[in-house]
Amino acid sequence: MGSVQYSTPSIFKTAQFIPPDAIFEVTKNYLADTDSRKVNIGAGTYRDENGKPWVLPSVRMAKELIANCGHEYLPIAGLKAFRDEAVKLVFKETKAFSEDRVASCQSLSGTGALFLAGLTLKKIDPGPKAVFITDPTWSNHELLFSSLGFDVKKLPYYKSGAFDFESYMSVLGAATTGSIVILHSCAHNPTGCDPSKEQWKAIATVFQERKLFPIFDSAYLGFNSGSVNEDGWAIRYFVEELGFEASICLSFAKSMGLYGERIGLVTYVTKSPSIARTVQSILENVQRATISNPPVYGAQIASTVLGTPDISKQWAQDLITMSSRIKAMRKKLYDELFRLETPGDWSHIVNKSGMFGYTGISPAQIKHLQDKYHIYMADTSRISIAGLNDSNVEYVAGAINDAVRLIN
């Protein structure tokens, strides 16, 4: 039989191909590379001192306890034990917590939390609204909020290896009253530059003056410094010291190594318990309209880690283990580049914090690293420090040194 001929044109005739996500493409190319020297410093996943995925000891302990957790549907808002423990983790010493002014909903990791936060704001006020993101920022911020119909605007953030505080404040101070601003609670992705506490206070003053609404993207609480309390300082300053209403979007992908479980939480701090109940109803409504209800296994793990004293104590140690190793790798990379007398100033590598940082090398130099040395990173020069270890850090530093010297 011959092929069927259709007389009408395809309904997809106006569709345009969308290039693949740049970060996931880096990992795809890395996995396809068969060279034994290959190194992936592009993906934002923690690796141990042997370059292998690390299942946290606390997570192993939790998994033993929930081995027979079952597979029934969760409520729309998610596992209550997880929500309660995660809210307590961030807000336990605040009036918002003691006065029952926090609405929460389990989400599909940090991305899902931001998505639900955006949908909730759209449900409350469907009119046009600006969302400010840093430039640069996590690659998904712009796609996510523009897809929800927000007018996405940029706040200059990074210049000469440091937080461009002056430019940031200048643009923030001109923001339209009532705009939404995405704040990185800690470990700014991708630069690793965080505001100082004094800078946070100045930023908050502009929020008060312009009546801006903060959404805290909090993917790295505890993973940055080793202390959830320290990493969450800016959140508490806004909601406790200054009394802001805010959305705080949590992820446990990095801090518990639960990447594939997609476990997160969206919260809203409100002015009163009654408003919190209203916002809670809206959160559940938009959750129902998207995924109906969230998956159970990651929530069981996270709630067990947070809610079991001896496991929670082990998790606190796990956070120190991961954050300390990342800090050590920053120093070793810097020390090796210094020893090689690599042209340029590399102090920004050790002056920043968190998993990510900019090297500042050019796209041509990045291509040289991939073609000659099989080293993979984002084309922005952002690297994941967690991809470095004692067996590859000298190799990576030597390759960067070669690229900087040979490629203009």
User: CATH code for 22-56+312-403?
Assistant: 3.90.1150.10
The answer to whether residue 1 scores a pLDDT higher than 60 is: no
Tens digits of residue pLDDT in 71-94: 999 999 999 999 999 999 999 989
What is residue 8's predicted lDDT score, i.e. its pLDDT?
86
pTM for the complete prediction? Answer: 0.95
**What was the pLDDT predicted at 200?**
98
- Note the CATH number of domain 69-309: 3.40.640.10
> How do residues 180-192 score in pLDDT, each as one tens digit?
999 999 999 999 9
Residues 132-145, buried b or exposed e (16+ Cβ, 10 A)?
A: bbbbbbbbbbbebb
Kindly list the domain boundaries of the chain, sorted by start residue: 22-56+312-403, 69-309
Sequence letter at residue 236: R
Contacts of residue 293, Cβ cutoff 8 Å, sequence gap at least 6: 73, 74, 75, 76, 78, 287
Give strand pairing partners of 169.
Answer: none
Residue-wise pLDDT tens digits, 226-276: 999 999 999 999 999 999 999 999 999 999 999 999 999 999 999 999 999
Length of the chain as a residue count: 408
pLDDT in tens, 387-406: 999 999 999 999 999 999 99
Check whether 347 has a pLDDT greater than 60.
yes
Q: Which residues of 344-365 are buried (b: 16+ CB within 10 A; e: fewer)?
A: eebebbbebbbbbbbbebeeeb
For 313-324, what is each residue's pLDDT tens digit?
999 999 999 999
Confidence label for 134 from pLDDT (cuts 50, 70 and 90):
very high
